[in-house]
Amino acid sequence: MLRFPVATMASGAEIAVILHELKGKKGDGPTVGICAAIHGNEPTGTEIILDIARLFKECDFRGRLLLLPVANPLAFEANSRNTPLDDVNMNRVFPGNPGGWFTDHLAQVVTDEFLTKIDVLIDLHAGGEHPTVDYIYIRNAENLSRGFGSPMLYRADPSKSGTIFAGTSVDVTEGRGVPSVTVELGGGVIDQTPYTQRGIVGIRNIMSLLEMIDDAPLPPPAQTVLNGITTVRPTQGGFLESVAVDLGRPVPGDSLLGRVVSPYTFEVLEEIANPVPDGYLILSHLTRNLVHPGDYGYMVGSVE
């Protein structure tokens, strides 16, 4: 285990970046960095890294695994997307700044001790504490993104991708020419086991493609490549009751995604329709959840 101090809090507690290094016993190979919990309310990736560490503890592979299970400890502790100390989204401030906010300093340590030390990046994200998500970004390593095995992939418009990814971890690694895979998988008030198991299979398959293990790579499933994503947010607060819950399935334009119901009067405050013609559902609330106006409600992908 590697420990890199970041700061001492006013309480006297020390905040540090914790890495786990596994060196393969079967010879040379790439250093694959796997990180999670840049957003603290996305612990599914941390669970996947825990399982990967246990799976490969005997180091029966080539190369090296550098594991960062909790990139943002304060946000993880608070189950918060942003760092509660300064309310900054860590995945918008990379490569960081030692003279900036606490989150800027934290991002700088992660950059120096993790993002600049790896040959391949797998960045694990999830839907958060309420919504569930399922898709993969295609960036500069399409074979690895496809190899993870998710049925839905998103290729951002090149003319806009610089804005979309500015300040993110992959902005740093891609700038160094490092193959980078961003995974959006799991989350919500449901059992995460199916998603953690898929994460393990996906990472093993990427390792197969990199010839770090001897397993033959699994062929990808039928995959749909999206070129646009629309986020649909409720304008009213209350219970969000979803109608569309089958992630990866087509959703017709103007079809009902869900409704917001008042927990006080039981009346329907809002019906939320799909604004995307012939879209694909990639984020939804799979259980009845309390939402605020402007929260993440649904994400619908589109293809040409």
The neighbouring-strand residues paired with 20 are 67
Q: Which are the contacts of 258, defined by CB distance < 8 A and separation ≥ 6?
A: 240, 241, 242, 243, 244, 271, 272, 284, 285, 297, 298
- CATH number of the structural domain spanning residue 147: 3.40.630.10
d(CA 8, CA 130): 32
Average model confidence (pLDDT) across the chain:
96
pLDDT value of residue 72: 98
Q: How does residue 165 score in pLDDT terms, banded at 50, 70 and 90?
A: confident
Q: What is the pLDDT of residues 49-92, one digit of tens each?
A: 999 999 999 989 999 999 999 999 999 999 999 999 999 999 99
Residue position matching structure tokens 């957003």: 39
Please give the DSSP secondary-structure letter assigned to residue 112. Answer: I
- CATH number of the structural domain spanning residue 256: 2.40.50.100
Question: Do residue 189 and residue 139 come from a single domain?
Answer: yes
Q: What is the pLDDT of residues 198-236, one digit of tens each?
A: 999 999 999 999 999 999 999 989 999 999 999 999 999
Residue 249: domain span:
230-298
The neighbouring-strand residues paired with 133 are 186, 283
pLDDT value of residue 156: 86
Q: Is residue 304 domain-resident? A: no
Contact predicate 78/96, CB 8 Å: no
- Give the chain's domain count: 2
Question: Do residue 207 and residue 261 come from a single domain?
Answer: no
Question: Do residue 185 and residue 141 come from a single domain?
Answer: yes
Q: Is residue 303 domain-resident? A: no
Q: Which are the contacts of 282, defined by CB distance < 8 A and separation ≥ 6?
A: 133, 134, 135, 152, 154, 184, 226, 229, 247, 248, 299, 300, 301
Contact predicate 258/272, CB 8 Å: yes
